[in-house]
């Protein structure tokens, strides 16, 4: 296997010159660049990435910490990180944590060993080492963010979005509105769930509509939990005329479950979702929902993180991306 010394010898230049060519740290003359490039191609030389990262104090690698990848929205977001990272010379690694801080600690150690330069964290529950007041670990928290966060965040305004889509249902004449939320119990209350539930309740309060505790249905952001919620609704003596779902996956399951029980959407019950995943426009009926602009979220997160890594960020930013209300066939006027 060819070494950097072999390249330097064949090109007739110093090892330092080859290193400068590889790093792009300084401009070389056109003829020198041509010699080094030719030697690299002739010898099929591949630089030692580990050695380069140690010498440069950077690996040009970003880690995305995620508790799981089953959510279609999260999968879309993960795919969107690569493009803005690549545009700035970085690669992205997926690091699944299963919400286990011992696993997160191993990734933090990898960063300290300079195998990665920073994290995109998709959970609001951060490892204590990430909250070091000296900010020794570069990271940006994305989507699931605590209101009191003192570190960089990128998210939509979940509360305002939930309020908007609930007020849309109210504008259609609905006053008996249920909600299907996720991850909301004594052991764990997702910040996203809390914000979306708060927005739902604000819309009801602002329109003098009673909140029915029995119409607050517990889900877990899966399609199956939507199907189970349909069974609960079917067994109610008094059914709601509309359901706000805190995710598209639950809304899709709810629509399917209701259809299996002979309850039509939207003729019998209007249903809304949240996220605007790809399948939302292909359900029958297609789903009225809130669109989270995945590419804009990913671009803001990656560029903010790289600015922090490269010490270009003078302020640790809290970025709020605008959402969009998408109207489709799963809702109707009473």
Are residues 168 and 134 part of one domain? no
Same-domain pairing of 70 and 173: no
In a shared domain, residues 174 and 281: yes
Same domain (yes/no): 147, 195:
no
| Pair 187, 251 in one domain | yes
State the CATH number of the domain containing residue 21.
Answer: 1.10.260.40
Q: CB-based contacts of 112: which residues, under 8 Å, 6+ apart?
A: none
CA distance 17 to 305: 30
Residue 313 within a domain? yes
Q: Is 327 inside any structural domain? A: no
Evaluate whether residue 333 is within a structural domain: no
**Nearest-angstrom CA–CA distance, 103 and 95:** 9
pLDDT digits (tens, 9 = 90+) for 247-282: 999 999 999 999 999 999 999 999 999 999 999 999
Same structural domain, 174 and 210: yes
> Which DSSP state fits 292?
P
Q: Is residue 306 part of a domain?
A: yes
Q: Are residues 248 and 315 in the same domain?
A: no
**Are 139 and 171 found together in one domain?**
no
Give per-residue pLDDT as tens, 55-100. Answer: 456 788 999 999 887 889 999 999 999 999 999 889 999 988 887 8
Position 262 scores a pLDDT of 96
Q: Are residues 210 and 265 in the same domain?
A: yes
DSSP structure string for 309-322: HTT--SS--EEEE-
CATH number for the domain spanning 237: value is 3.40.50.2300
Q: What is the pTM of this model?
A: 0.81
Nearest to 204 by CA among 248, 232, 242, 231: 242
- Co-location of 82 and 15 in the same domain: no
Domain limits for position 261:
158-292
| Overall number of domains in the chain | 3
pLDDT tens digits, residue range 95-131?
888 878 888 888 888 888 778 899 999 988 888 888 8
Instruction: State whether 186 and 200 are in the same domain.
Output: yes
β-strands 153-156, 61-66: how paired? unpaired
The CA distance from 159 to 114, in Å, is 38
3-state helix/strand/coil string of 225-272: HHHHHHHHHHCCCCCCCEEEECCHHHHHHHHHHHHHCCCCCCCCCEEE
């Amino acid at each position: 296997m060819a070494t950097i010394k072999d390249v330097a010898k064949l090109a007739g230049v110093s090892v330092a010159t080859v290193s400068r060519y590889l790093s792009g740290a300084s401009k070389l003359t056109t003829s020198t660049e041509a010699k080094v490039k030719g030697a690299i191609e002739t010898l099929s030389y591949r630089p030692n990435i580990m050695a380069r990262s140690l010498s440069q104090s950077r690996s040009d690698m970003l880690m995305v910490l995620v508790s799981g990848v089953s959510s279609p929205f999260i999968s879309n977001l993960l795919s969107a990180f690569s493009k803005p990272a690549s545009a700035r010379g970085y690669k992205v690694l997926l690091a699944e944590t299963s919400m286990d801080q011992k696993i997160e600690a191993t990734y933090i150690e990898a960063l300290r060993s300079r195998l990665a330069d920073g994290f995109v964290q998709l959970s609001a529950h951060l490892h204590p080492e990430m909250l070091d007041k000296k900010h020794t670990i570069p990271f940006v928290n994305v989507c699931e963010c605590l209101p009191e966060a003192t570190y960089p965040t990128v998210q939509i305004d979940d509360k305002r979005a939930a309020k908007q889509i609930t007020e849309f249902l109210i504008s259609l004449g609905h006053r008996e509105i249920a909600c299907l939320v996720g991850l909301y119990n004594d052991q764990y209350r997702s910040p996203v769930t809390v914000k979306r539930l708060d927005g739902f309740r604000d819309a009801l309060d602002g329109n003098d509509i009673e909140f029915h505790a029995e119409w607050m249905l517990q889900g877990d952001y899966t399609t199956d939990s939507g199907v189970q919620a349909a069974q609960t609704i079917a067994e109610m003596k008094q059914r709601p005329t509309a359901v706000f779902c805190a995710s598209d996956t639950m809304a899709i399951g709810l629509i399917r479950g209701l259809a299996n029980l002979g309850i039509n959407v939207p003729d019998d019950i209007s249903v809304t979702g949240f996220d605007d995943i790809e399948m939302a426009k292909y359900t029958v009926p297609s789903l009225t929902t809130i669109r989270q602009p995945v590419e804009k979220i990913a671009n803001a997160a990656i560029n903010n993180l790289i600015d922090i890594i490269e010490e270009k960020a003078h302020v640790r930013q809290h970025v709020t991306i605008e959402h969009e209300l998408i109207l489709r066939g799963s809702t109707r006027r009473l």
